[in-house]
Amino acid sequence: MHGSRVADALAMPVHWYYDRAALLRDYGVVDRFLPPRNPHPDSILWRSTPPRTSEKFNILRNQAQYWGRENIHYHQFLKAGENTLNFRLARELYSLVRKTGRYDKDQWLDLYIARMLEPGWHNDTYIEEYHREFFARLARGTAPSKCGIADGHIGGLAHVPALVAALEGSPLDEITAKVRTHVSLTHNHPGVLRAANTLTRLLHAVASESLPLREAMHRHAADWLSPGKAATWESKHDLEIVGRKFSPACYIEQAMPAALFLAWKYHENFSEGVTANAMCGGDNCHRGAVVGSLLGAACGVPAHLRLPHPDLTPSSNR
């Protein structure tokens, strides 16, 4: 779990940069935690208008004023090393499951709704579509368990490492079933659910069965990324693969194999892997759910990149 949070925090200032020359110009090599700053040259918030909703279900609050404006950074008010919204929620999920000793979707939905509606709980300017649609449906009287959408973005994997870590020691079939239940609450999309299952099995194979990462990927992820092609590509520059072979954007059918490739290439070096993920731009925060968690499970997280969190157990601190 900790590896995914580190990958997210590292990538946060350069999240959704598609101009990699601009990324390098603005931040240099992102191998340490950095604060975000405006302007963000690839921001599309200027094309967006905040959703209309009642004050009771207003999840944007004072951040709505920045929507529709040019060059606004999606995470402009976060500090160096802070997690973006989806990974803050992942931390809440982990803590809830560890505290109660089980995963209960209704308990989680109650906590999710409470946190999203709590003034000042998060400081992100951008809130993804699945959150906005969830609360729009909730405002119309839809039951929380029915408020999810068929969102096909890799952001749907942000909670998977946390839930797998929280359920450590449970049978694999039970973990995969609970991960599927959880992800379908917000991302009921066949590609995202398949990717969540793959990531769950990979994490279990590496963390619980002590399989080397590449062997685990041979067994559990070959339908997403051919090991033969990955071996051929690993000598190439990262941007030749995540940018030309696979889009750096958020759509799961491209983002999942892109993330797996980076995990394959950097299977023995956590720091280099999460830095490479950040430098590839695009939806690097959410690719980090895959890259960071797998490399954390395989290699551990080096001390200089650890994030403080009192609720983490040693196993989840990988």
CB 12 within 8 A of CB 84: yes
Q: What are the residues facing 149 on neighbouring strands?
A: 187
The topology under which CATH files domain 2-317 is ADP-ribosylglycohydrolase fold (1.10.4080)
Token duo for residue 247: 């889009």
pLDDT at 55: 79
Task: With a cut of 60, say whether residue 23 has pLDDT above it.
Answer: yes
> Residue 151's pLDDT band (boundaries 50, 70, 90)?
very high
Task: Please state, rounded to an integer, the average pLDDT across all residues of the chain.
Answer: 94
Q: According to the model, what pLDDT value does residue 47 have?
A: 85
CB 180 within 8 A of CB 196: yes
Q: Give me the sign of the Cα torsion angle 31, 10, 73, 80.
A: negative
**Is 117 in contact with 59 (CB distance < 8 Å)?**
yes
**Using one digit for the tens of pLDDT, what is the confidence trace for 284-312?**
999 999 999 999 999 999 999 988 653 44
Q: Which pLDDT value is given to residue 49?
A: 73
Query: In Å, how far from its chain's centre is CA 284?
Result: 8
Residue 87 tokens read as: 């990974």
CA distance 93 to 1: 11
Please say whether the beta carbons of 313 and 185 come within 8 A.
Answer: no
Distance between CA 283 and CA 50 in Å, rounded? 21
User: How confident is the model at residue 52, as a pLDDT?
Assistant: 73
Dihedral, 315, 285, 211, 253 alpha carbons, nearest 10: 140
Mean pLDDT across the stretch 14-31? 97
* Closest by CA position to 252, among listed 129, 151, 153, 128: 153
Structure confidence at residue 315 (pLDDT): 47
Q: Tell me: pLDDT of 1 over 90.
A: no
Q: Is the model's pLDDT at 69 over the cut of 80?
A: yes
DSSP for 8-45, please give it.
HHHHGGGTT---HHHHHHHH-S--S-----S--TT--G
Percent of the chain with pLDDT over 70: 96
* pLDDT > 90 in the chain, percent: 91
CA 253 – CA 29 distance, rounded (Å): 27
One-letter amino acid of 10: L
The DSSP secondary structure of 170-226, one letter per residue, reads: S-HHHHHHHHHHHHHTTB--HHHHHHHHHHHHHHIIIIIS---HHHHHHHHSTTTS-
| pLDDT tens digit sequence for 247-265 | 999 999 999 999 999 999 9
> 83 near 12, Cβ under 8 Å?
yes
Q: What is the pLDDT of residues 168-225, one digit of tens each?
A: 999 999 999 999 999 999 999 999 999 999 999 999 999 999 999 999 999 999 999 9
The domain ranges of the chain are 2-317
Ordered alpha helix ranges (H), the chain: 2-11, 20-27, 85-100, 105-116, 129-139, 160-166, 172-184, 190-203, 213-220, 227-233, 238-241, 252-265, 270-279, 284-299
Q: What's the pLDDT at 309?
A: 53
- What distance in Å separates the CA atoms of residue 129 and residue 137, rounded to the nearest whole number? 12
Nearest to 39 by CA among 26, 52, 48, 50: 26
pLDDT of 45 higher than 70? yes
* CA angle 84–82–43, rounded 5-degree value: 50
Task: Give strand pairing partners of 251.
Answer: 153
Encode pLDDT of 133-143 as tens digits: 999 999 999 99
Do 143 and 105 form a contact (C-beta atoms < 8 A)? no
